[in-house]
Chain A
Amino acid sequence: SQQGEEDPQALSIQEGENATMNCSYKTSINNLQWYRQNSGRGLVHLILIRSNEREKHSGRLRVTLDTSKKSSSLLITASRAADTASYFCATGANSKLTFGKGITLSVRP
């Protein structure tokens, strides 16, 4: 069963705009991750936030975590056409991750 549910399912923005994606999960977690998948490729890890962290930054990425609401958001600032991909949140540990269904982001040049 899916632990994470991303929202929206699809997002289309203009290059230079910010993209915000949300993830909700059901059970308590130790950490939450975001992955990116380009078309026809494997997933690539973007960022991990621990349950005792509220916000984390990595380059143009900002992730927030609200454990009271069981939700996380991924913000991509100043988007580029190369950010076009599917984005997944994932919870779990070691070799047992549970992924959401993903968000398809399209960035128009």
Chain B
Amino acid sequence: NAGVTQTPKFQVLKTGQSMTLQCAQDMNHEYMSWYRQDPGMGLRLIHYSVGAGITDQGEVPNGYNVSRSTTEDFPLRLLSAAPSQTSVYFCASSGRSRKNIQYFGAGTRLSVL
């Protein structure tokens, strides 16, 4: 199993550009989440989903959109990139049987100039 796959691994954007960070999991997990990790800040929850068609906001949702049309995919969209969105983004998933334990992707390192 590949687990949680994030693409791209690295991305550089200019202020105002939009892009989508991809996240796919092959474990048939119901729960998926997006976090951002900034130096000295730990991980902060952006958006999460408890199943296909159901999403909700986390701690820092502004500037980001998500959708969950399938169980496998949970893309994160930056609508108009800002330098404050320079960060490392992690996608995670968990299954109903061990729903508190999250499996993380390798991350996407994003720089907004």
A: residues with CB less than 8 A from B are 1-2, 31, 33, 40-45, 48, 88, 92-102
> Do B43 and A42 have beta carbons less than 8 Å apart?
no
Which of the candidate stretches B11-19, B78-86, B94-102 sits at the interface with the other chain? B94-102
Residue of B nearest to A92 (CB): B100
B: residues with CB less than 8 A from A are 4, 31-33, 35, 40-45, 48-50, 58-59, 90, 92-94, 99-107
> Do A31 and B100 have beta carbons less than 8 Å apart?
yes
Q: Which of A41, A48, A102 contacts B42 (CB 8 A)?
A: A102
Residue of B nearest to A47 (CB): B101
Complex interface: chain B residues within 8 A of A44 (CB): 104
> Do B48 and A43 have beta carbons less than 8 Å apart?
no
Report the bound CA distance from A87 to B5 in whole Å: 22
Report the bound CA distance from A44 to B40 in whole Å: 19
Q: A33-B101, A41-B106, A42-B107 known; A96 and B58 CB under 8 Å?
A: yes
Among B33, B44, B100, B101, max chain A CB count under 10 A is at B100
Complex interface: chain A residues within 8 A of B42 (CB): 2, 88, 99-102
Would you give the shortest CB distance from B87 to chain A, in whole angstroms? 14
> Do B100 and A93 have beta carbons less than 8 Å apart?
yes
Among B42, B45, B99, B104, max chain A CB count under 10 A is at B42
> Do A94 and B50 have beta carbons less than 8 Å apart?
yes
Complex interface: chain A residues within 8 A of B104 (CB): 42-44
Residue of B nearest to A6 (CB): B42
Closest 6 CB pairs of A and B: A42-B104, A95-B31, A95-B48, A101-B42, A99-B43, A95-B33
Residue of A nearest to B99 (CB): A94
> Do B101 and A88 have beta carbons less than 8 Å apart?
no
Residue of B nearest to A93 (CB): B100
> Do A93 and B99 have beta carbons less than 8 Å apart?
yes
Report the bound CA distance from A93 to B100 in whole Å: 5
Complex interface: chain B residues within 8 A of A97 (CB): 33, 43, 45, 92, 100, 102
